Chains A and B, each alone.
Chain A
Amino acid sequence: MDTIFAQATAPGKAGVAIVRLSGPRAWQAVSELSGPLPAPRRVALRTIAGPEGVLDEGLVLIFEEGASFTGEKVAELQLHGSTAVVEAVLKVLSDMEELRSAEPGEFTRRALENGCLDLAQVEGLADLIDAETEAQRKQAQRVLAGELGEKAEAWRRDLIRAAALIEATIDFADEEVPTDVTPEVLSLLHDVRNGLSREAAGVGIAERVRQGFEVAIVGAPNVGKSSLLNALAGREAAITSEVAGTTRDVIEVRMDLAGLPVTVLDTAGLRDTDDVVETIGVERARERAAVADLRVFLVFLGEAPAFPPGPKDIVRVSKADVVGEAAGRVSAETGYGLTDLVAEISGKLSDMLGRSSVATRERHRIALERAMDFLDAANQVLTERGDMEVAAEEIRSAIRALESLVGRVDVEMLLDDIFASFCIGK
């Protein structure tokens, strides 16, 4: 059984962040970080240090097997609530043997398996799980829609092809398939390995960190979305005009809002239209807005938003300079209400800060590194031993490690590739 860990507190600007570990190596891992352990259920102040030096000062707390939330050995680190500190501690933990970051719901799952939750607690799980599921779904959509999505798509294609070539020589040995696929497989693996390595080295991740949050401005045509974007950015980024439907695609402007890296999306006006190009724009606008971290709905006075805002979304009446200044209104023209709007946006984003980013970045990095290890092993097997079935196993493991990035690849996809490439059927 692996030992799992995760940040247990909602991330953000809180003073304290708790990292929880559960499993056979939980105590040992914490003692490697913080020295002698306190007695179970007693709190001790310790210096938390990784192989590269001191990370933080924090509280350490351990629970015995059978007397913890999950029923396993559990340890908790109470750290200062800084994203950098938490990220550094998670990284050190993930480098330890037999430790890995927990899947959503995994602590609960273990508690359930060990009979450590009562019925009332089980009933209460629904909300938590709903939120985790939603967060995961959004993350997956963002990976697919973003820049990483294109890279992931190429990796996926190459890995499927490499696996299919090998499987063709194994499962269709009696057929007219090429016997020596090794050079092509090696070249495919090499390309993927390079891509992963660049990504893991932080190029892609740094980009995404810089990119930060996404805030979408949505609303009817001509309600003033582009003007609001320009006002926020302080420059003419989007084309603004009096003609409805000017912004046909999604325009992105990166900016710094109250110290947070934010990409503001100016989306096409939401309305039914016969213009084909504009229809596509509207569709894209809806999609992008749906996966953004936050939506600002801009409406004409007395009108309802084009689709129901989420609980965290912001609604503003536009053109306060025309309809009159009041709470909940904003004017791109005069700047009325802008400070208030920026404060609300940054407040909501700060609440979310870390939640997806730290965990997701860390998860991606771990996935990339594990996949690279498997690809290296596959490469070694192919060049030194030539055992196709063992190489196939390494590639399969690499694909599984990348599942969160490239999606699930199953045997049917390999077979599709094989049957499309070779004339099978003696």
Chain B
Amino acid sequence: MGARTALVTLRKDGIGVMSCNPAIGGLGKGHLVREIDAMDGVMGRIADRAGIQFRLLNRRKGPAVQGPRAQSDRKIYRTAMLAELEGTPNLTILEDEVTDFVMNGGQVSGVALNGADTLTAGATVLTTGTFLRGVIHIGDVSRPGGRMGDRPSVRLAERIDDFGLPLGRLKTGTPPRLDGRTINWDVLEEQPGDDTPVLFSFLSSKVMAPQVSCGITHTNEETHEIIRANLNRSAMYGGHIDGVGPRYCPSIEDKVVRFAEKTSHQIFLEPEGADDPTVYPNGISTSLPQDVQEDYVHSIRGLEQTEIVQPGYAIEYDYVDPRVLDLRLQLKSVPGLFLAGQINGTTGYEEAAAQGLVAGLNAAASSLGSDAVQFSRSDSYIGVMIDDLTTRGVTEPYRMFTSRAEFRLSLRADNADQRLTPKGLEVGCIGDERSRRFSDKMERLEAGRALMESTSYSPKEALSVGIKLSQDGNRRSAYQLLSLQDVSFDQLEALDPRLCSVDQGIQDQLAKDALYASYILRQEKDVEAIRRDEAHAIPEDFGYGDLDGLSSELRSKLSAARPANLAQAAKVEGMTPAALTLLLARLRRDERKKSA
């Protein structure tokens, strides 16, 4: 897009550090990575470079709910990410601490650095992660800290207080890290990667790092007994933590207490690198004291002699209620300041990266004076997340699930490029190579589809290649036949030998597109309605107070929610179609007054 950008960070070698589980992707999350990649973001390519074990989750289910996931080599990811950023034109990396914002009236026009320098900027994106008033807890010991070994950003937190933003507190936990050389792998179940790895980036063609397997072990009654006996020493159960943790990522204390009837819980032993002995035991995050961590780890099969490299800890941090953000992730009350990542109440690298993309694109667009870059629930998981955050806020760290996307059948990982790369091209954030490869793929795809639609077949003709249809006399195109259960491309090639010219990748893509065609058609009306409502933007200063005909309850709810457009207004509790019409009527009238 051509915006001159400075990246200010405390330590340059902190860029690309994976502070939690060194894995990228998964269900919903893998979709986000694909979408980031489709917009030419870097995460997918770096994750492919660093991937040491690739698995496509839900491989046996339909393509709409398959999510690519990869175990990353922590070191490769970090060095590749830093190299990528250092090689990015127009980007300058500064090692410094941002201590304050430069204000111009009510607007942020840059940042002040610890070294007393200031940087002026048309737009600023703040990504504090867990550093905002971060507190680390290990058992009954707690101390300020953003993540293990880093300082928290207290001064910046105080500055943010002055903006009067609604803050909340969340927590998240990590497990103890283990020395893999002291794990008895021989007695453990092995979990290899997929035989045919599915990568993240539409530009990647093969795995690059050496591949490894993960191990699987389980907690047992003895483990649970140790945990139960020491619950009062856990930071969480000892009453040291106020923050709300994620329900989908409970600590082992939580699991033992809440699911007391379960005698065993699964643990994935995930190597942190091909040549790194550190192992991340996924499933036993904890805030118990170190000695208890050692005891319970040693009670687990295969881990009897295992050494803990770094104890597990819980971390509490501040987040900003994301309902104060607009759809560009700019603070409604502080123009020029964008927020992205965990500061907005989310968790996960992928969720953070997707927000970074949205905030970054819009910060650039705002500085360059171009139009806002918006995502919709109907075009992407990114749009689903931004809409969820800005309209509903969060009650626990927000994580993406495929069930959050009502148009899940059309928002697939396999078609992220078809959905978003055209938007990227329009905005100007797509590099030459991707642009070329995308248009080439689209040409082949369109040619393949056109070929499949060019001829139609009677049920009798279809039967000649083994496709059984009701003898309704309707003729169907090869594309329509492909949408039927159990119809393969090979059968269609027998019907029309010209289809042999369609390459394998395009065949797969056409099959995935065809599979859900009838459902996507059914959803089109809903998509249309959402897009129509999204097109009616509601100004930030819209006066709900003098809108006759709205109940006072609805009026106050709308005034509090300040929906960005009619689609968001529709989701305000208690909203009726009639009240929406009234809003629309007022919007129309205001528009006309303005243009008159």
Contacts and interface: CB of A to CB of B under 8 A. Distances in A.
Contact of B258 (A384, A397, A423): A423
Contacts of A112: 581, 584-585, 588
B41 interface: no
Interface in A182-198: none
Contacts of A176: 265-266
Nearest to A163: B403
A29 B27 CA distance: 46
B151 interface: no
Interface stretch (B59-67, B110-118, B124-132): B59-67
B582 interface: yes
Interface string B259-283: 1001001111000000000000011
A125 B582 contact: yes
A113 B28 CA distance: 35
Given A112-B581, A425-B249, A425-B283, A415 B576 contact: no
B408 interface: yes
Given A167-B403, A396-B406, A129 B249 contact: no
B527 interface: no
Interface in B400-432: 401-404, 406, 408-409
Given A126-B548, A423-B259, A132 B576 contact: yes
Contact of B581 (A2, A105, A392): A105
Contacts of B27: 170-173
Most chain B CB inside 10 Å of its own CB: which residue of A136, A173, A415? A173
B266 A127 contact: no
B403 A388 contact: no
Given A119-B589, A129-B549, A129-B582, A425 B402 contact: no
Contacts of B62: 387-390
A292 interface: no
B402 A170 contact: yes
Interface in A1-50: 2
A105 B578 contact: yes
A341 to B, nearest CB: 31
Interface in B234-257: 246-250, 254-255
B576 A136 contact: yes
Given A389-B64, A389-B65, A125 B581 contact: yes
B495 interface: no
A132 B577 CA distance: 10
Nearest to B532: A113
Given A127-B549, A419-B247, A104 B283 contact: no
Given A104-B578, A108-B581, A389-B408, A426 B268 contact: yes
A389 B61 contact: yes
A115 B108 CA distance: 40
A424 B247 contact: yes
A330 B267 CA distance: 78
A130 interface: yes
Contacts of A175: 266
Interface in B163-200: none
Interface in A398-426: 411, 414-415, 419, 423-426
Interface in A95-125: 103-106, 108-109, 112-113, 117, 119, 122, 125
Nearest to B55: A174
B551 interface: yes
B266 A388 contact: no
Given A171-B401, A171-B403, A136 B578 contact: yes
Interface in B22-42: 26-28
A230 B576 CA distance: 40
B65 A109 contact: no
Contact of A390 (B404, B519, B577, B588): B519
Contacts of B226: none
B579 interface: yes
Interface string B571-596: 00000111111101110110010000
A385 interface: yes
A133 interface: yes
Contacts of B551: 130, 133
A393 interface: yes
B58 interface: yes
Contacts of B28: 171
Contact of A106 (B248, B404, B577): B577
A174 B404 CA distance: 18
B577 A105 contact: yes
Given A125-B585, A411-B401, A425-B248, A170 B580 contact: no
A129 B579 contact: yes
B30 to A, nearest CB: 12
Contact of A415 (B255, B283, B401, B525): B401
B485 interface: yes
Interface string A57-79: 00000000000000000000000
A426 B266 CA distance: 6
Contact of B403 (A106, A108, A411, A425): A411
A426 B589 contact: no
- The residue among A113, A172, A393 with the most chain B CB atoms within 10 A of its own CB is A393
B57 interface: yes
B485 A385 contact: yes
Contact of A414 (B403, B485, B580): B403
Nearest to B28: A171
Contacts of A127: 549
B525 A2 contact: yes
Contacts of A173: 27, 57-58, 61
A175 to B, nearest CB: 8
A122 B588 contact: yes
B188 to A, nearest CB: 15
B580 A105 contact: yes
Contacts of B516: 390
A415 B403 contact: yes
A132 B65 CA distance: 41
A132 B575 CA distance: 12
B248 A419 contact: yes
Interface in A107-165: 108-109, 112-113, 117, 119, 122, 125-130, 132-133, 136-137
A396 B409 CA distance: 12
Contacts of A415: 247, 401, 403
Contact of A425 (B250, B532, B576, B586): B250
Contacts of A104: 576-578
A132 B578 contact: yes
Contacts of B61: 170, 173, 387-389
Nearest to B57: A173
Contacts of A133: 549, 551, 576, 578-579
Contact of B519 (A108, A125, A393): A393
Contacts of B401: 167, 171, 411, 415
Contacts of A397: 522
Contacts of B255: 423, 425
A126 B403 contact: no
B403 A125 contact: no
Contacts of A384: 485
A411 B571 CA distance: 13
A263 B247 CA distance: 48
Nearest to A176: B266
Closest 3 CB pairs of A and B: A126-B549, A105-B578, A105-B581
30 contacts: A105-B578, A108-B585, A109-B584, A112-B581, A112-B584, A122-B588, A132-B576, A133-B549, A136-B578, A167-B401, A170-B27, A170-B65, A171-B27, A171-B401, A171-B402, A385-B485, A388-B61, A389-B62, A389-B409, A390-B519, A392-B403, A397-B522, A411-B403, A414-B403, A415-B247, A415-B403, A423-B250, A424-B250, A425-B283, A426-B266
Given A170-B27, A389-B65, 4 more contacts: A109-B581, A119-B589, A133-B551, A133-B576
Interface of A: 2, 103-106, 108-109, 112-113, 117, 119, 122, 125-130, 132-133, 136-137, 167, 170-176, 384-385, 387-390, 392-393, 396-397, 411, 414-415, 419, 423-426
